[in-house]
């Protein structure tokens, strides 16, 4: 084989290898040419000389090249996945609509299949909704479909599930249990809903302008705070509410100082013990809700295991309510510490807590009725 051909094949392999590393690190494609190649050339020149370093110039790593290499790698991985699925015939899929950084809708599809001695779980594809994606699999081999329950997915006339059942009437369809859990927590009582709006206004006020963000960060740095920024709340991000509440609670003193210095009307909330008590409860309960949501995610989960976790959480809600009736709130650590530090009585927010726990329990029963869960487990 001619030396030129050998060098070209080495360059191609190197280009593919670097593209793979860039993709795994989730870095912009242009770092291949601008940083990685430049750094590798400099190191090689220092250690082995200019002649060896010059060989690295044959490795194509422009942003367009890296993008093309990743398309090739993705297609190869997809082909291998489809071969594995077809080899074992039966498979199940889970799909959901999401948005990318440009707010363009994307359809994400995950597949679960039997792969020799294990159950394989992989992303099948992610494509813009405006395009048609062809996957060489047969609906007759699909045994189950899980969706987010949206009308576009389960509509009786043109919904995705309806169209799939025309191809395979025996297919099992389910509403994603993680998505159901996220829907359960959306409804709040009017008082707590208003508090959440106040929290969102406070966060947006500080995060909306770069100047206020920098000034707040400077204040936190001078105070040696645990964090220096707040987290934005996004309703469509399941863990966002709990994370935003927790971060604001941790930085409530700094936020109070910042708003008071600006003489903003929202600063009065941080001198209101009722408001702060309810705020502390929301931090606690959404921390628990985030924990259960995270525990439902990840590989190797099945409907039986998820059912057990949901049932356990429903039992926790009942236990928390029984203890709250007796004035025992150790499970709500932020609320308990706040009340104790300020020598306040739990009676200040007892009715609000009990009412919300009752509502949560009812909504869990609505979205996860015991009989339906047993049928899903058996199915």
Q: What is the pLDDT along the chain (379 residues), one digit of tens a residue?
A: 444 444 678 888 899 999 999 999 989 999 988 899 899 989 988 998 888 888 888 889 999 999 999 999 988 888 888 888 888 888 888 888 776 655 677 788 888 888 777 788 888 888 776 656 667 788 888 888 888 777 667 766 777 888 888 888 888 888 888 888 888 888 888 999 999 999 999 999 999 889 999 999 999 999 999 999 999 998 878 889 999 999 999 999 999 999 999 999 999 999 999 999 999 999 999 999 999 999 988 887 888 888 899 999 999 999 999 999 999 999 999 999 999 999 999 999 999 999 999 999 999 999 888 765 555 544 4
Q: How far apart, in whole angstroms, are the C-alpha atoms of residue 109 and residue 122?
A: 9
Residues near 94 by beta carbon (within 8 Å), at least 6 away in sequence: 109, 110, 111, 112, 145, 146, 147, 176
Torsion angle of the four alpha carbons 158, 365, 279, 254, in this order, in degrees rounded to the nearest 10: -60
Q: 3-state DSSP helix/strand/coil percent for the chain, to nearest 5?
A: 65, 10, 25
Residues near 168 by beta carbon (within 8 Å), at least 6 away in sequence: 139, 140, 142
- How many other CB atoms sit within 10 Å of the CB of residue 231? 17
**DSSP letter assigned to residue 118:** E
3-class DSSP state of 114? strand
Report the half-sphere exposure of 179 (CA within 13 A, side-chain side): 14
Q: How far apart, in whole angstroms, are the C-alpha atoms of residue 245 and residue 266?
A: 16
Torsion angle of the four alpha carbons 263, 268, 270, 275, in this order, in degrees rounded to the nearest 10: -160
In 3D space, the residue among 300, 304, 296 whose CA is nearest the CA of residue 378 turns out to be 304
Strands (E), the chain: 91-99, 105-115, 118-128, 142-147, 172-175
The structure's pTM equals: 0.79
Q: How far apart, in whole angstroms, are the C-alpha atoms of residue 188 and residue 194?
A: 9
Q: How far apart, in whole angstroms, are the C-alpha atoms of residue 179 and residue 236?
A: 11
What angle is formed at CA 209 by the lines to CA 205 and CA 214, rounded to 5 degrees? 100
């Amino acid at each position: 084989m001619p030396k030129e051909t050998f060098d070209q094949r080495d360059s191609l392999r190197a280009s593919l290898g670097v593209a793979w590393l860039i993709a795994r690190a989730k870095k912009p494609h242009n770092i291949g040419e601008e940083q990685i190649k430049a750094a590798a050339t400099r190191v090689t020149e220092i250690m082995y000389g200019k002649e060896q370093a010059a060989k690295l110039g044959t490795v194509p790593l422009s942003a367009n090249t890296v993008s093309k290499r990743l398309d090739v790698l993705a297609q190869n991985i997809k082909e291998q996945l489809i071969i594995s699925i077809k080899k074992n015939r039966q498979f199940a899929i889970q799909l959901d609509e999401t948005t990318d950084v440009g707010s363009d809708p994307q359809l994400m599809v995950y597949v679960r299949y039997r792969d020799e001695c294990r159950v394989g779980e992989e992303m099948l594809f992610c494509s813009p909704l405006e395009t048609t994606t062809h996957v060489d699999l047969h609906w007759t081999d699909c045994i189950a479909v899980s969706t987010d329950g949206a009308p576009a997915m389960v509509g009786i006339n043109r919904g995705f599930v309806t169209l799939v059942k025309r191809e395979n009437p025996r297919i099992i369809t389910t509403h994603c249990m993680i998505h159901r859990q996220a829907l359960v927590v959306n409804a709040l009582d009017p008082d707590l809903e208003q508090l959440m709006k106040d929290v969102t206004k406070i966060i947006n006020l500080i995060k909306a302008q770069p100047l206020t963000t920098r000034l707040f960060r400077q204040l936190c740095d001078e105070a040696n705070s645990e964090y220096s920024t707040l987290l934005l709340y996004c309703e469509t991000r399941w863990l966002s509410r709990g994370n935003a509440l927790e971060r604001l609670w941790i930085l409530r003193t700094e936020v109070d100082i910042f708003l008071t210095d600006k003489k903003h009307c929202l600063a009065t909330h941080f001198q209101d013990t009722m408001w702060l008590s309810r705020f502390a409860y929301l931090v606690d309960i959404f921390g628990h809700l985030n924990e259960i949501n995270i525990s439902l995610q990840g590989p190797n989960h099945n409907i039986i295991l998820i059912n057990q976790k949901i049932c356990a959480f429903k039992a926790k809600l009942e236990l928390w309510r029984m203890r709250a009736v007796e004035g025992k709130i150790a499970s709500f650590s932020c609320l308990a510490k706040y009340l104790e530090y300020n020598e306040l009585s739990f009676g200040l927010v007892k009715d609000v807590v009990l009412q919300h726990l009752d509502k949560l329990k009812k909504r869990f029963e609505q979205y996860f009725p015991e009989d339906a869960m047993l049928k899903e487990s058996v199915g």
